[in-house]
Amino acid sequence: MTLRAWMLALALTGAATAVVAQDLKSPSADQYVPRLGDIMSAAQARHQKLWLAGKAQNWELTAFELRQLKASLVEAALLYSGIPISNVTTLEPSLQSTSDAIAAKDGRKFAKAVGDLTEGCNACHRSMGRSFVVIRVPSDAQPFANQQFAPQAKP
């Protein structure tokens, strides 16, 4: 799958529409371009929220966090041409299996898929001289105490 096709696939799910539009021209000096580390910090937060929401079986929130995470990764690839495209496209299968597990509300498949996805984060970090940035599936420690992850009771 080419990067363009991959981004199109993401755009079709509504994840990356804004970012794809941005790609039409290079950002000019007066446009705000987030630093790669900032995009990655957002990806880290979303990766953790994805996991916590999935663990709490709040599949609606889990699907939302996956879309947000994909948007961060697409943004990184589009804005930073030094990132090898193949490092991003190799994440596609694990993003898809995470999405499938969410649709099936299958906690076991979700855990496996997020594990594979997390390995994809680290594979890119290793290949880009950032092997010291090691992402893992979150432990029970919850730094995001300011957000409720369990599904809300239906009125």
Q: Does 125 bind ligand HEC (CB under 6 A)?
A: yes
Question: To the nearest whole angstrom, how small is the minimum distance from the Cβ of residue 152 to ligand HEC?
Answer: 26
The neighbour count for residue 125, using CB atoms within 10 Å, is 17
Q: Which residues of 35-64 are buried (b: 16+ CB within 10 A; e: fewer)?
A: eeeebbebbebbbbbbbbbbbeebbebbbb
Contact call for residue 19 and ligand HEC (CB under 6 A): no
Q: Which of residues 22-81 bind ligand HEC (CB under 6 A)?
A: 36-37, 40-41, 43-44, 47, 69, 73
Q: Closer to ligand HEC at the Cβ: 105 or 130? A: 130
Smallest separation (angstroms) from ligand HEC to the CB of 40: 3
**DSSP letter string over 71-118?**
HHHHHHHHH-TTS-HHHHHTTHHHHHHHHHHHHTT-HHHHHHHHHHHH
Q: In this chain, which stretch among 7-15, 51-59, 100-108, 128-136 interacts with ligand HEC, using CB under 6 A?
A: 128-136
Q: Residue 91 CB: number of other CB atoms within 10 A?
A: 22
**Does residue 137 belong to the site contacting ligand HEC (CB under 6 A)?**
no
Q: Rounded CA gap, 64 and 61, in Å?
A: 5
List contacts with ligand HEC (CB under 6 A).
Answer: 36-37, 40-41, 43-44, 47, 69, 73, 83, 87-88, 91, 120-121, 124-125, 128, 130, 133, 135
